[in-house]
Structure 1
Amino acid sequence: MRVLIAGSSGLLGSALVAALRDSGHDVRRLVRRDARAADEHSWDPPAGRIDDRAFEDVSVVVNLCGSPMGLRWSAARKQMIRDSRVEPTEVLAEAVAEYRIPSLVNASGITYYGDTGDEVVTESAPRGNGFLAGLCGSWEDATAPAAEAGLRVVNLRTGLVLSGRGGLLGPLKPLFSLGLGGRLGDGRQYMPWISLRDHISAVRFLVEHETLSGPVNLCAPEPATNAEFTKALGRVLRRPAPWWVPGFALRAALGEVADEMALISQRAVPAVLEKAGFTFVHTDLDGALAVAL
């Protein structure tokens, strides 16, 4: 099938393009500049402009747009984070509805649920509180034009992706390699992780399985607590991880980001994927970290 991807240059997007092509799919990419290759089509989300030819014979649109979160949020930064996700989604959802593209597979985040402590969270759980939960809610609401047109919409509620090329492990690897790793807060907060390979395989699975729709948790079946994650990363890198950063110190250093990203607990599980028969390659954290690093 022909798949059109927005956000194809990032860690997840570039890996997805390669995986879909390896599976025999015809992949086209939306780029925010003049098109330079046969598989590229230009678009300008703030202007609401997309090259009409981008949608010819397309069966699925995948949207992975979103700027990096950063480590400290000003009001301007939070607006940029929101605009980089919601605005492109609105433009694509309206185009999907207009051109009657059968499926829209759209990025979202596992932070949709807010802080849920040690409660096991499936896709049926309600939206939580906080900036990121509200952001994910607005992000998913922006797909409404496609859903209201009767087209398939999948919301990818992605967890913490483990990859040696960036993401969560980008800033952690050098710290842990120097023996400076340690748990955050009390370490009891759950971290819903997923290997890059499983994430890409799951998105491809959702692209190809046209009966699946709605929110889908993209995380491994066994989320780890921060203390467990810290020990596992130390083991894989063969370095001690004895340190502890108390919650008040994180809040002083990171502000709102501390509670929204570092201390938040989400014991999320991939109920939809498992029920649909998706098979995870990496269900063991040590193994996933070893492959990533």
Structure 2
Amino acid sequence: MRKFVYRSEIDCPVETLFDWHMRNRAFERLTPPWLEVAVKGSGNKLEEGFEVQLTVRKFGVPMELAFKITEFATNQIFVDEQTKGPFMFWKHQHIFEKHGDSSCAMHDDIRFGLPLHVASEPLMQGFMDSDFQRMFRYRHDILKGDLAAYMRNSDKPRKKVLITGSHGMLGSALVNYLSTQGHQVSRLVRSNEDVKGTSEIVWDASRVDPPDTLVKRLNVERFDAVIHLAGANIAEKAWTHDRKALIKNSRVESTKRLAKLLAYLNEPPQVVLSASGANFYESDLAAESTEGSPAGRGFLSEVCKAWESALQPARDAQIRCVNLRMGVILSPDGGALQKMLTPFSLGLGGQIGSGSQSMSWVSLDDAVQAIEHCMLTEKIDGPVNVTSPNYVTNKQFTQAMEQVIGMPENFKVPSALVNVMFGQMGKECLLEGVKAVPEKLIASGYIFRHQKIEDC
């Protein structure tokens, strides 16, 4: 039998920590982004006898697992044991330790057996310990950050939230985060194929239906907040004329129709938070760009301006509107960082052009937490830079990635090559940059989880 233990102090009452684990999507929120895990099915409530089935992919190979809760005591412990999977046996004790009225500890105790010959166990144990350390360090960091945010907002009522674009990297993480923060989350999806439960509402934003028809067909009354993240991927394909039209229209037209729909409601939401981008600003300026800085002149700047203007019907209806000017979102499981890690790990990553172009970035955890902060902070209105306070140059980012991968500095990618390979997309996305600073977030008391790019 093998044993692994991980323990952390958490600054919240033990009841709050336990309740967090009982909420919908807690398992998904705690799953590290580098693991390919899909939840296939589960019972309705975490209690003794509850069972969850998972599909885990390792090196592209799917593996079926199932775990059952065999012991459960409120605010004290729950235990899961493997009923199907690769281990000879598995027992994971989730222990909640009370330390007074406002602090506690999370104690994970795992006992397991490996399905290998006894001579192989010492070697495999070393690999397992390394994987477990990384996994539970991530889980406990999430717990500390999420519970700290929850305690700061504990005096604010939980919201009924509707999210578009909920199946992308940011949207999926936001659903998991808001659900475990106690909010009631529903998804506005494009087709019946996207429906995975009872909390989805189907709406094809490309259809031009009158608002009164939509109101009758869709049950979108009485939401406290609507978060609009939908839009075609900017860097997925080359910027042909048709692709640029799709990038713009998927944002502007859907936002315009959604804003008109919400303005038509008898009980509209208190706030609409709509995605935009830090590309709104003029690129390569010596000065920093705050929310009051002027717009730029490139394609992405034009898209962002039109995107934000499309919310006007909701503003005219006296709905609080927030434009989320997102920086480059960094997470190992998607977006820019995922695309960059692979070439760096192969020794093919490097500085792009001069390396002096600025990069306004934000960690995925800060992105979802900042969106909640804007949702709950009534004085926040209009554009908000959702970026780290510490933008970096491309050269600094390259050096940080090389440290993460543990490799020496490699070759540089010439500007001419970027222009030839990617054209206007390469110029605006790779060779130009902005120094967006989160003036409104800082002024409103937002506390960042990741201020340095090395911390992501």
Tell me which interval the TM-score lies in, with the shorter structure as reference length.
Answer: over 0.9
TM-score with structure 2 length normalisation? 0.62
* TM-superposed deviation, 1:116: 3.4
Partner-residue secondary structure (3-state), 1:248: helix
Distance 1:182-1:71 versus aligned 2 partners, 3 A rule: farther
Partner-residue secondary structure (3-state), 2:412: strand
The reply to whether residue 64 of structure 1 matches residue 229 of structure 2 is yes
* TM-superposed deviation, 1:53: 4.1
Q: 1: CA distance between counterparts of 2:273 and 2:433?
A: 26
The reply to whether residue 225 of structure 1 matches residue 393 of structure 2 is yes
> Are 1:221 and 1:270, in contact at CA under 8 Å, matched by a contact in 2?
yes
Paired position in structure 1 for 2:25: none
Paired position in structure 2 for 1:291: none
1:203 to 345, 357, 371: 371
Alignment of 1:68-79 (within 5 A): 68-69=233-234, 70-79=236-245
> Are 1:190 and 1:266, in contact at CA under 8 Å, matched by a contact in 2?
yes
Q: 1: CA distance between counterparts of 2:169 and 2:426?
A: 24
* TM-superposed deviation, 1:71: 4.6
Backbone CA RMSD of aligned residues? 1.3
2:280 to 112, 117, 130: 112
Q: C-alpha offsets along residues 239-280 of structure 1, whole Å, 9 cap, x if unaligned?
A: 123211121111011100121100112111100000000000
Q: Which moved more, 1:94-103 or 1:224-233?
A: 94-103
Paired position in structure 2 for 1:84: 250
1:235 to 398, 403, 410: 403
* TM-superposed deviation, 1:117: 2.8
The one-letter code of the counterpart of 1:91 is R
Partner-residue secondary structure (3-state), 1:168: helix
Paired position in structure 1 for 2:294: 126
> Are 2:237 and 2:243, in contact at CA under 8 Å, matched by a contact in 1?
no
Percent identical among aligned pairs is 38
* TM-superposed deviation, 1:72: 1.9
> Are 2:228 and 2:273, in contact at CA under 8 Å, matched by a contact in 1?
yes
Partner-residue secondary structure (3-state), 1:101: coil
Distance 1:241-1:181 versus aligned 2 partners, 3 A rule: farther
The one-letter code of the counterpart of 2:312 is A
Paired position in structure 2 for 1:23: 181
* TM-superposed deviation, 1:161: 0.5
Alignment of 1:51-200 (within 5 A): 52-69=217-234, 70-99=236-265, 100-200=268-368
Q: 2: CA distance between counterparts of 1:136 and 1:214?
A: 13
Partner-residue secondary structure (3-state), 2:197: coil
Paired position in structure 2 for 1:32: 190
The one-letter code of the counterpart of 2:239 is W
Alignment of 1:251-262 (within 5 A): 251-262=419-430
> Are 2:324 and 2:385, in contact at CA under 8 Å, matched by a contact in 1?
yes
> Are 2:284 and 2:358, in contact at CA under 8 Å, matched by a contact in 1?
no
Partner-residue secondary structure (3-state), 1:114: coil
The one-letter code of the counterpart of 1:66 is G
* TM-superposed deviation, 1:65: 0.3
Q: 2: CA distance between counterparts of 1:287 and 1:18?
A: 21
Q: C-alpha offsets along residues 152-179 of structure 1, whole Å, 9 cap, x if unaligned?
A: 0000000000001110012211110011
Q: Which moved more, 1:236-245 or 1:191-200?
A: 236-245
> Are 2:387 and 2:436, in contact at CA under 8 Å, matched by a contact in 1?
yes
> Are 1:192 and 1:220, in contact at CA under 8 Å, matched by a contact in 2?
yes
Q: 2: CA distance between counterparts of 1:114 and 1:249?
A: 23
Partner-residue secondary structure (3-state), 1:262: helix
TM-score with structure 1 length normalisation? 0.95
> Are 2:163 and 2:228, in contact at CA under 8 Å, matched by a contact in 1?
yes
1:41 to 189, 201, 221: 201
Q: 2: CA distance between counterparts of 1:221 and 1:208?
A: 21
The reply to whether residue 274 of structure 1 matches residue 448 of structure 2 is no
Paired position in structure 2 for 1:5: 163
Identify, as 1 or 2, the structure richer in helix: 1
> Are 1:3 and 1:62, in contact at CA under 8 Å, matched by a contact in 2?
yes
Residues matched between the structures, number: 288
Unaligned runs of 5+ in 1: 289-293
> Are 1:104 and 1:153, in contact at CA under 8 Å, matched by a contact in 2?
yes
Partner-residue secondary structure (3-state), 2:275: strand
Q: Give the number of the structure with larger relative contact order, counting CA–CA contacts within 8 Å between residues 6 or more apart.
A: 1
* TM-superposed deviation, 1:56: 2.5
